[in-house]
Structure 1
């Protein structure tokens, strides 16, 4: 079942400022890849990103259930895909775009080369990464939300 993001997200900062073509080109310039059409469509609607209204989780192919706190567009004041990329040149070099996080600031990253979504968990000075979904569309489709009462 496709998740209706308009139902489950609320804007991070006032409204959903759509990602402009100029901002999309800046992200593409930083990572050296064209943005996947599905992510561009999302960011055009939810450019400022959103916080889930309730507890959101995403399931991986191997059965892990990961919390998702915010999902990013390109231009939010906090968090900002552009600011995040500038703070992490290693992501730029690898063609990775931050698309979401959990409550602990761990990141979900879109790998532009393949379209896959990865999760990077930072714990006790060590990071580990693993694949979450084969595409941005699959990531969104796998998100389940239990609404706040």
Structure 2
């Protein structure tokens, strides 16, 4: 299989970056704002950056739809952090606050939280509602880390 350049969206500014084939994604920085493209933890995003991430990134994007008032969301947060530390840069990890961005939650018919969706090139690859422990989360996500 030929290694090709990858398009990676910056979680800070939303800029799309082309990372050369063979360059470690974990070391890549944004050409626009100079932030690390992968920081080893989930990035909180608004609707605009969310849309760019799921449509323009060549890496599968895992989104945790959550809210501050949600106890199970807070209980799952350390597991989501641990998965990001372990699986980035093979996957991108994002958090989207459904209270701040209700239109995005409505678009994906989010009725219960926490709710995780894996996207690639704008398409939903998988979706799962409910909190998961670290082991279950890793087992569910590993097949998408290709």
Please say whether Structure 1 and Structure 2 have the same fold, judged by a TM-score greater than 0.5. Answer: no
Give the TM-score of the pair, scaled to structure 2: 0.25
| Higher strand residue share | 1
Give the TM-score of the pair, scaled to structure 1: 0.25
